[in-house]
Structure 1
Amino acid sequence: MAVLNGFATSFAVAKIGVGSSYDLNSTSCPCFRSHCGRVKSLVYTHSLSPRCEVVVEKESSGAQSSVSALELLETSDRYTKKSSSVMVIGLSIHSTPVEVREKVSIPESEWSQAIRELCWLIHIEEVAVLSTCNRIEIYVVALSQNRGVKEVTEWMSKYSGVSVTELRQHRFLLYNKDATQYLFEVAAGLDSLVLGEGQILAQVKQVVKNGQGVPGFGRKISELFKHAITAGKRVRTDTNISSGSVSVSSAAVELALLKHLPDQDSSMPHATEDRVTAIREELSTDGSVIIEYKPFSEMLSCAALADVIFTCTSSKDPLFIKESVQAALPSEDGGRTRLFVDISVPRNVESSVSELEGACVYNVDNLKEVVESNKEDRLRKKMEAESIIAEEVKQFEALKDSLETVPTIKKLRAYAERIRVAEVEKCLSKMGDVDQCSS
């Protein structure tokens, strides 16, 4: 109610919803007057005392039955609330520096717990988490877009320690069809730093694998990701988008080649010797390349002898810090330069290492100079892939619409069955009365 020039303005709604807190038959409510029967359209009034009349007419029992049917439909989810929205709230390499991404990054081992925590939020129904070196994305089915975004952003801030204000500066938001199209493009490698890279499709598959059996990884999110995998596979099958260097690691090697990688042997500090042996067998069948296993404890001594150091681990803490690298490097090195190529998120090499004389540090964000080459060819491949993505999005949206009608159809069938049973019982009861009268 708003007051203007001494007059009270009241608005009457056109319909009183099922389960309203107002009792239309009660005389205790000063703003409503009712009679038994159907609710008529209400009145817009200007008066000193707000008043809203509800006039009702008597109805036949048949009409009341129709009203009951409408009330039943109105109490179903499809008619009493807006359909849920599919959204993605994310940070990507295109808009967010690695300094922020590494703080918000969610290790794969924590995806399930993140889903559980997010589903405890009031407006979040379903969740999926995709966190890689290039992106941190949370896909949700939300009851409210604005409130859902607010709740997820606040959760990300609490999880990472990054302020909500800073997250808002870098995050991107997509809804419904746009969110679907974006995920399909991600799975196809169209949004990757290296166009068509294959690793992202494996990571999308891992989202589905980890989500199995986790409360909150529901039907809508599951179907969305499964269809994204289908779209990603089709793009790679129907186009040659995967030709050439198609991974972040291969781009890292190209970066090293661009800088100054001479012909050298390799040492691999690694957790398992078996893995290093497998790599050696794959890359050096004729023994021309020497790949040597070293335990992790010898990492710094290996770095002191190396020209290029590649790092890619899931460690949350830096492996190479300025003080330890400075202590490990020989005091007299003859102007030798060491190249640290760090493609980990969180980063394995402190940025301050680059302050040391003879040390250059490149992180995953620096790989952009590699992937800028052959731009025309990459754009042509992307156009072919986008037409396939558009077809897949159309198919998925049709599937989603059909799935949303299923609960309503089930409720209609159940209601029809109840009517049928009631009418049969009524008929049998009347037949029994006739039999008693005739006897």
Structure 2
Amino acid sequence: MVVSCGLSNSGIAHHIAYAPSHLPVGVRRLISVKGSVVNPRCEVALERNDDVRSPLTVTSSSVSALEALKTSAADRYTKERSSVMVIGISFHTAPVDIREKLSIPEAQLPQAISELCALNHIEEAAVLSTCNRMEIYVVALSQHRGVKEVTEWMSKVSGVPVSEISQHQFLLHNKDATKHLFEVSAGLDSLVLGEGQILSQVKHVVKVAQGVPGFDRKISGLFKHAITVGKRVRTETKISSGSVSVSSAAVELAQMKLPESSYDSVRVLVVGAGKMGKLVIKHLVAKGCTKMVVVNRTEDKVNAIRDECNDVEIVYQPFSELLSCASESDVIFTCTASETPLFLKEQVETFPTLTSQSQRMFVDISVPRNVDSHVSDLETARVYNVDDLKEVVEANKEDRLRKAKEAQLIISEEVHEFEAWKDSLETVPTLKKLRAYAERIRASEFEKCVEKMGDLTKKQKVAIHGLSKGIVNKLLEGPMQHLRSDENEGRTLDEILENMHTLNRIFGLDTEISILEEKIRSKMEKAKNLP
């Protein structure tokens, strides 16, 4: 799994470049402008250090940070609503040696979400890690400060300098971030256009993050909607038919590089019997391979695969026999979760020379890599990794691109639907505050009425209470209705949000100011009290 995000301390470049129109569907390329790297769809730039300090410099040294925050909250935070953002790297923007440096193990993903949401300006978070990408999705109370905090967190946990991360990162927010995740889930941003494995990985994010504090309404809603989009695209366009996954691309690459005369005699070793290893085995079988050796820590998974593959000889070997098995193999596929290389140069150079071909082939689809990069220096070895699979994906390109255009129409519809749902959430605080405001007035007037009327029976009090409730409900019915999204009423999102701002002004609710300030103050107070 790979992790990434990044920006320089001084922020993203203040120059915006636009990608050429011929770039492939779903590709997010970094464009270099005057020595700075930016994303063509990125619209958010980090503030410079002096900008970050400026709200506090106008106050006296005796004023606390919280007091300074209170006096400047309206100016600093309420000019923008909370934003959904994605900060990350992918195979489009960074080579494998950079991606593996930023790798986060699956077991640490819940902890990563919790740590991200502990940052002052991050409210919700999720992490999508695969061999081809690492993307951090957040709801940020401030776009600028949120990006800065996430970037610095990434640098801290990975040990990679912010300056190095910024050379390979991309940033999208709000509608663009939503569209990007939908394209990812649909397989439009994959190395192999339309591949299906990424949808399973998006589902896994929801499974792992469910119940983790910080994987809340907006981010969980975004990922669940992305799953729906991925399923719909595959059902309606059949984009996955005829295309290949990373695992099948690895098998096809090996087949392309082998002499045709050696297909029947080549000795195959698969290292790892997890999800990727199982797919490699199945694709080998589909290509006509009838015998292979599988090295895995336990035999149970190998037995299960053997039961699914009839008429194929699958020989299990424990990890203690890894080097011995590799020395007797012509083609070695590695697909484990090991965080350290399984094959080093000094080990491979001791392997006996092959008689069937001049070089032993390593096809490494693991991130971090299982085969040390120096192995490729040997004349007796050829090493391919996930970045070398690009030459395999040209088959059926025209058909898949046509289906991708159909998929984009579906994604546009789904983005509009999700954004409508997300924007409707902005009115919820106003609804609650308006009802609470009315309830306070009703309760106060009810008490005054009861006191003036003297002794009343329980039945009379209930009747008066019901009358007051009924009046308030009737008066609130119109304003409440104009804050809800109802297709039958024909109100646009802009109209609903304008109604929200109008009610805030009329009743003095100050919803956005109070909520943003309250959230940020609470986070800062917690950070202040930490040991």
Same fold (TM over 0.5): yes
Instruction: Give the match for residue 276 of structure 2.
Output: none
Q: 1:189 aligns with which of 187, 190, 200?
A: 187
Structure 1 residue ranges (4+ consecutive) displaced by more than 6 angstroms after TM superposition: none
Cα distance in 1 for partners of 2:370, 2:292 equals: 19
Cα distance in 1 for partners of 2:409, 2:292 equals: 43
Cα deviation, 1:14-44, whole Å, max 9, x if unaligned, reads: xxxxxxx9xxxxxxxxxxxxxxxxxxxxxxx
Cα distance in 1 for partners of 2:418, 2:343 equals: 46
Cα distance in 1 for partners of 2:354, 2:365 equals: 29
> Do the aligned residues in 1 keep the contact of 2:188 with 2:194 (CA within 8 Å)?
yes
| Local SS of the residue matching 2:167 | helix
For the aligned residue pairs, the C-alpha RMSD in angstroms reads: 2.0
Instruction: Give the match for residue 202 of structure 1.
Output: 200
> Do the aligned residues in 2 keep the contact of 1:105 with 1:132 (CA within 8 Å)?
no
Deviation at 1:334, TM superposition (A): 7.5
Q: 2:325 aligns with which of 299, 302, 309?
A: 302
Cα distance in 1 for partners of 2:110, 2:161 equals: 24
Deviation at 1:373, TM superposition (A): 2.6
Cα distance in 2 for partners of 1:224, 1:331 equals: 53
- Structural mapping, 1:311-390, within 5 Å: 311-327=334-350, 329-330=351-352, 336-390=358-412
Query: Is the aligned partner of 1:391 residue 2:391?
Result: no
AA partner of residue 405 (structure 2) = M
Deviation at 1:144, TM superposition (A): 1.0
Instruction: Give the match for residue 43 of structure 2.
Output: none
Q: 2:315 aligns with which of 281, 292, 296?
A: 292
Deviation at 1:332, TM superposition (A): 7.4
- Structural mapping, 1:147-162, within 5 Å: 147-162=145-160
> Do the aligned residues in 1 keep the contact of 2:349 with 2:380 (CA within 8 Å)?
no
> Do the aligned residues in 2 keep the contact of 1:335 with 1:358 (CA within 8 Å)?
no
Instruction: Give the match for residue 244 of structure 1.
Output: 242
Instruction: Give the match for residue 140 of structure 2.
Output: 142
Instruction: Give the match for residue 106 of structure 1.
Output: 104
AA partner of residue 262 (structure 1) = Y
Deviation at 1:372, TM superposition (A): 2.3
Query: Is the aligned partner of 1:266 residue 2:297?
Result: no
Instruction: Give the match for residue 7 of structure 1.
Output: none
AA partner of residue 280 (structure 1) = R
> Do the aligned residues in 1 keep the contact of 2:202 with 2:227 (CA within 8 Å)?
yes
Deviation at 1:150, TM superposition (A): 1.1
Which has the larger Rg?
Answer: 1
| Local SS of the residue matching 2:226 | helix
Q: 1:426 aligns with which of 448, 453, 460?
A: 448
Instruction: Give the match for residue 116 of structure 2.
Output: 118
> Do the aligned residues in 2 keep the contact of 1:269 with 1:299 (CA within 8 Å)?
yes
* C-alpha spacing 1:100/1:395, structure 2 compared with 1 (3 Å): same
> Do the aligned residues in 2 keep the contact of 1:338 with 1:359 (CA within 8 Å)?
yes
- Structural mapping, 1:13-32, within 5 Å: none
**Bigger mean CA offset, 269-278 vs 315-324:** 269-278
Deviation at 1:430, TM superposition (A): 3.6
Cα deviation, 1:260-283, whole Å, max 9, x if unaligned, reads: 062243111012222222323323
AA partner of residue 152 (structure 2) = E
AA partner of residue 251 (structure 1) = A
Cα deviation, 1:43-83, whole Å, max 9, x if unaligned, reads: xxxxxxxxxxxxxxxxxxxxxxxxxxxxxxxx99xx96742
Unaligned runs of at least 5 residues, structure 1? 1-20, 22-74, 434-439
Cα distance in 1 for partners of 2:122, 2:405 equals: 35
AA partner of residue 132 (structure 1) = T
Deviation at 1:404, TM superposition (A): 2.0
Cα distance in 2 for partners of 1:120, 1:430 equals: 52
* C-alpha spacing 1:266/1:151, structure 2 compared with 1 (3 Å): same
* C-alpha spacing 1:84/1:324, structure 2 compared with 1 (3 Å): same
> Do the aligned residues in 1 keep the contact of 2:294 with 2:315 (CA within 8 Å)?
yes
Instruction: Give the match for residue 57 of structure 1.
Output: none
Instruction: Give the match for residue 514 of structure 2.
Output: none
Between the aligned residues of both structures, percent identity stands at 71
| Local SS of the residue matching 2:333 | strand
> Do the aligned residues in 2 keep the contact of 1:118 with 1:152 (CA within 8 Å)?
yes
Cα deviation, 1:387-429, whole Å, max 9, x if unaligned, reads: 1111111111111122221221111111112111222222333
> Do the aligned residues in 2 keep the contact of 1:90 with 1:136 (CA within 8 Å)?
yes
Q: TM-score, normalised by structure 1?
A: 0.77
Structure number with greater CO (CA < 8 Å, separation at least 6) is 2
- Structural mapping, 1:87-102, within 5 Å: 87-102=85-100
Deviation at 1:157, TM superposition (A): 1.2
Q: TM-score, normalised by structure 2?
A: 0.64
| Local SS of the residue matching 1:170 | coil
> Do the aligned residues in 1 keep the contact of 2:242 with 2:396 (CA within 8 Å)?
no
Cα distance in 2 for partners of 1:178, 1:85 equals: 11
Deviation at 1:258, TM superposition (A): 0.6
> Do the aligned residues in 2 keep the contact of 1:88 with 1:137 (CA within 8 Å)?
yes
Cα distance in 2 for partners of 1:369, 1:351 equals: 20
| Local SS of the residue matching 2:184 | helix
Instruction: Give the match for residue 229 of structure 1.
Output: 227
| Local SS of the residue matching 1:151 | helix
Deviation at 1:325, TM superposition (A): 1.2
Cα distance in 2 for partners of 1:319, 1:278 equals: 24
AA partner of residue 292 (structure 2) = S
Instruction: Give the match for residue 436 of structure 2.
Output: 414
Q: 1:403 aligns with which of 404, 409, 425?
A: 425
Q: 2:306 aligns with which of 264, 273, 280?
A: 280
Cα distance in 1 for partners of 2:293, 2:110 equals: 36
> Do the aligned residues in 1 keep the contact of 2:364 with 2:371 (CA within 8 Å)?
yes
Cα distance in 1 for partners of 2:263, 2:324 equals: 20
* C-alpha spacing 1:335/1:196, structure 2 compared with 1 (3 Å): closer
AA partner of residue 341 (structure 2) = P
> Do the aligned residues in 2 keep the contact of 1:270 with 1:294 (CA within 8 Å)?
yes
* C-alpha spacing 1:317/1:86, structure 2 compared with 1 (3 Å): same
| Local SS of the residue matching 1:223 | helix
Cα distance in 2 for partners of 1:209, 1:331 equals: 47
**Bigger mean CA offset, 125-134 vs 371-380:** 371-380
Cα distance in 2 for partners of 1:332, 1:99 equals: 29
Cα distance in 2 for partners of 1:81, 1:409 equals: 21
